[in-house]
Structures are given as structure tokens and as C-alpha cells.
Structure 1
Amino acid sequence: MLLVSNIASSMNHGGFVQSSYNKDNDADAVAYNSSKRKNGKFVTLDFQKKKKTSVPRLTLKVRQSAVRSENDSEEALSEVLEDFKMLEFKDVKGFEDFSITIDGMPIDAELPNGVRNKYYRLCCSQNAFLHENLIRGMNHKLIAGVISETVNIADAIKVSVLATPRVEFANWDKTLLAFEHLGMNVEFLRVRLRRIVSIAYETDGASETRRYLKYRTEHSEADDEIKNMETKLEELKEACNGFGAYLESLKSKAENYQVMLQKEVAAPW
């Protein structure tokens, strides 16, 4: 019995030692796993976890800040675009409200007041700004020249007649076509030109009408020349009459001197 008790006691003591050894090994393993060597120093696992979790949070904050910055930029851009938004023609109540604005900048000072007034009436005829679709970024002086020449061509169309040379109509149309490629709304002027050219050169009787106008002009010029010649002839007649009276006054004196000369010639030696 004593031997059995000693063996049991030794087994229990050995088991206790083994258990303690296992617990110490487990603790060391936990301590080892919970720390890592970095540059010769141990860094705890908790610190590593905090570091890993802090990086995504920082990234999230940066992303949120970037999104807010992008939103703010878009809002600022929208405000700028709103400031540069072109006034709609329906909002123009009269010439006093009319302003030629390009890319948010008025260029009224580039044009004489008379040209602006005529251009305003052209815009009223179409109920729109004729320049609103011009290519962005064009030089303002170039745009002012386009508007001014558009007004000049419109005036020329208004005073054109059947005798206007066809080449003039063609040149106006070429110029307007170039302006149209730049975005200028001048199609209505080109339509009017095509109608005028059709009437003046393509309809029946157009050639006879132009011939009549040509001959009428030549006849008028000839009649004016005749009148001018008649006026000059009357002036010459008056001058001739005055010169004749002067000749008569000299005639008597000349005759007297001639008589005296003859007497002297015929006198005896």
C-alpha cells in the first residue's frame, strides 16, 4: 500500500510539474505571439493592431476630405459659371438693356453706338442674340468686326436693286457663310440674299428688266449730257454776242486809222 501511495504521489507530482510546464510554455508562446521583434525591439501585438486600424481610418478621413474638396470645387465652379451665364434675349426689354456679352465679358465699347443699335434690331428680328453660339475664346476685336460687318451687309441688302451686280451678292453670301462657320446666326440674311438673287437673275423677265434699267440709265445720262452741252452752247452764244459788240466798237477806230494810213501812203513826195 505504501508503495502504491508513493507511486500515485509521484505520478500526481509529475503530472503537476508537466501541467505547470505546459502552462509556462503556453504563456511563453502567447507572449511570443503577442510581440514581434522590430529593429531589435519588441513591438506588442496590441500596438500593431492599433496601427493597422488607425491607417484605414486615416485613409477614410483623407478620402472624405478629398470628396468634400471636390464638392466645394464643383460648387465654386458652378457659381463662377452662373456668374458668366449669358443673359437670355427674352430678358432684354429694350436697347438700354441690350449688351453684347462674350464669355461673360461685355464688348459694347468695341462698337459704335449706331452699329450696336442696328445690331440690336437684327437680334430683335430673330428674337435671339445672333452671337450666342460663336466659338468660345475668340478675340473680342475679331467678334466686334464680325458684328460690324454683319450690320453693313444687312444695310447693303436693304438698299440693293435689280441693277446690283451679281458678284456683289455672291461676295456678301461668302462673307456671311464664313461668319456662320464661326457660329454667328446669319442664316436669315443668307436666305434673304438667295431670294433677291433668284428674283433679280433667275426669274422670267429678269434679264429684260435689267436691260430696260440699263438703257434707261444710259438714256438718262445722254439726256443729261445734252442738257449740259446746251447750257454750254448758251454760254458760248452769250460770250460771242458780247465779243461781237466789242468788235463793232473797234471796227470804226480801225477804219479811221486805215484811212489815215492810206492818205499818208498816197501823199506826194
Structure 2
Amino acid sequence: MCCPKLYVKETESFNILWNGEVVDSEISEHVRSQYYQLCCSQKSGLHDGLVKCIDKKLAAGIISETVKIADAIRAAEITTTSCNDVQRWDQTLKGFEGMGMNVAFLRATIKNILDSIQRKQQEKIKRKTNERAQAEKEMRNLETQLVNVKKKIRVLDDEIDVIRAQNEKLEHSFKETAIAPW
């Protein structure tokens, strides 16, 4: 892969310079390699616009954190990545951007991720709202059934009371007939 503006055709030849000093010793090989890929994607050193008053350790830290966030973005999954994490990444990159780091492309990706997460959350809310409405409908049906069953029980109790009263009259009449003289 070649980065025309960087004039470097491979990671091994890529050195990160800050204010005339090589920063490579301040960062890991993984970070350097990933940063090279990021720079290639933008056809320039992302740190080229950083304010010149910061020292090379801070520049290396910003580069390392940028790579860490880029790696996290690549590894992000809609089911496991929290909105809070993504928002923290964006806030960090926003701060780096304020210091002149070229990270607008990463922030644009983060915006897309946040939009996807929010759409998924809206879908979940809609689904759960529908489930809740169905549960409320079931509850109303059960409440109606309960009212109907209670009415039926009252009717049956009334019928039982009438039958008992009739049985008492029959019992009394039966006893009178049974003990009546022949």
C-alpha cells in the first residue's frame, strides 16, 4: 500500500516525525503499523496539523489513543458496543481534533455507529411498546373474564341458595309425609 503524500510504500520505511524528531520509540510497533494504515487512508499524516507547542510524548500519546479508538471502532458490534463508549471515543477525538489532529473521518464513522445504535434502540423500544400493548390487552381480557366468572359465581350462589331453600321445604314436606299416620 502506498501513501502518495507520505512518500512511503511500506510500513517498515514509515517513521513518525514530530517537530523534526522521530516519535517511533514512544509507541508500539502495532500502533505504528495501524497509524500508517490510517495515514494512508487519508493520504497524509494525521498529526501534521497538531499544534506545535506539544512535546513528542504527548504527540505519541495522541497518536496511540487515536489508533486505539480506530481499533475499537473496527471491533465495534451493535449488540455489544455501548452508546457511552462510542460517545467517549467521540469526545476524545473531538479534543484531538481541537488540537489539530486530522480525525474527522473517524468522528464521521462514530456518528454512523451512534446512528445505528440509536436506530436499534428505537426498534427495541417499538418492539417492547408493542409487547406491552399486547400484554395490556391480555390483562384487559383476563380482567373481563374475571368479572364474568365472578358474576357466574354470584348467579350460581343465588341458584344454590334457592335450591337449598327448596330442599329444606322438600325435607320438611318429606318428614311430614313420612311421619304422617297411615
Distance 1:161 1:188 in 2: 19
- Contact 1:133 1:183 (8 Å CA) reproduced: yes
- Contact 1:200 1:206 (8 Å CA) reproduced: no
Alignment partner, residue 147 of structure 1:
63
- Contact 2:78 2:117 (8 Å CA) reproduced: yes
Three-state SS of the structure 2 residue aligned to 1:121 is helix
Higher relative contact order (CA 8 A, sep 6+): 2
Structure of larger gyration radius? 1
Alignment partner, residue 167 of structure 1:
84
Residue 208 (structure 1) shift: 5.8
Alignment partner, residue 98 of structure 2:
181
What's the % identity of the aligned pairs? 40
- After TM superposition, which residue ranges in structure 1, 4 or more long, deviate above 6 angstroms? none
Match of residue 137, structure 1, among 42, 46, 53: 53
Structure 1 unaligned runs (5+)? 1-87, 212-269
- Contact 1:201 1:207 (8 Å CA) reproduced: no
Go from structure 1 to structure 2 and tell me whether the alpha carbon gap of 1:193 and 1:97 turns closer, same or farther (over 3 Å shift).
same
Kindly provide the amino acid, as one letter, of the partner of residue 142 in structure 1: L
Distance 1:142 1:173 in 2: 19
Go from structure 1 to structure 2 and tell me whether the alpha carbon gap of 1:179 and 1:204 turns closer, same or farther (over 3 Å shift).
closer
Q: Deviations over 1:99-127 (max 9, x none)?
A: 11111111111111111001101111111
Structure 2 unaligned runs (5+)? 129-182
Alignment partner, residue 5 of structure 2:
89
- 1:79-228 mapped onto 2 (5 Å cutoff): 89-163=5-79, 164-202=81-119, 206-207=123-124
Distance 2:27 2:113 in 1: 29
Go from structure 1 to structure 2 and tell me whether the alpha carbon gap of 1:120 and 1:209 turns closer, same or farther (over 3 Å shift).
farther
- Contact 2:6 2:45 (8 Å CA) reproduced: no
Equivalenced residues, count: 124
TM-score (ref. length: structure 1): 0.43
Distance 2:126 2:95 in 1: 32
Residue 183 (structure 1) shift: 0.6
TM-score (ref. length: structure 2): 0.62
Three-state SS of the structure 1 residue aligned to 2:32 is helix
Greater Cα shift, 198-207 or 109-118: 198-207
Q: Deviations over 1:117-173 (max 9, x none)?
A: 011011111111000011012111111111111011111111112232111111000
Kindly provide the amino acid, as one letter, of the partner of residue 95 in structure 1: T
